[in-house]
Amino acid sequence: METTLTHAPPTALALDTPLEPEALRRLDAYWRAANYLAVGQIYLYDNPLLREPLTLAHLKPLLPDKLVAHKQYIYRYGQDMPEIRDWQWVGKGEAGARSTA
C-alpha cells in the first residue's frame, strides 16, 4: 500500500538568517518570564508577582539542605537521624508524617 501526500510538507525554517530585532526582543522577554515563574513556583509560597515587598514569610524552606544532612548522617551512622527515625505515616489520604516522640 502506497502513501500519498495530500498537502505539501512544511517548508524548512531558514536558520542562517537572524531574527528580526522585535522578534528577538519578544522571545527574550518570554524566556525571562517563563524562567521567573518557574523559580517563583519552586521558592515562593506567595507573592510571585512581588506586589508587596518580599519577606522571609514568602520563601519556602530549603529542603535539599536537610536531605543532604540526612544522607550524610545515614552514611556515617547507618541509620536515620533521630528526629526522623520514629516517624509514622498517617492514614490513607492524609498528607505528611508525624513523630511518635
Q: What is the pLDDT of residues 43-61, one digit of tens each?
A: 788 877 788 888 888 887 7
Q: What is the pLDDT of residues 85-94, one digit of tens each?
A: 777 766 555 5
Q: How far apart are CA 68 and CA 61, in angstroms?
A: 14
Q: What pLDDT was estimated at residue 50?
A: 81
* 3-state SS, residue 71: helix
Written in H, E and C, the secondary structure of 29-87 is: HHHHHHHHHHHHHHHECCCCCCCCCCCHHHECCCHHHHHHHHHHHHHHHCCCCHHHHCE
Q: What is the pLDDT of residues 15-47, one digit of tens each?
A: 677 888 998 999 999 999 888 888 887 778 887
pTM, entire model = 0.40
- Grid cell in block for residue 17: 538568517
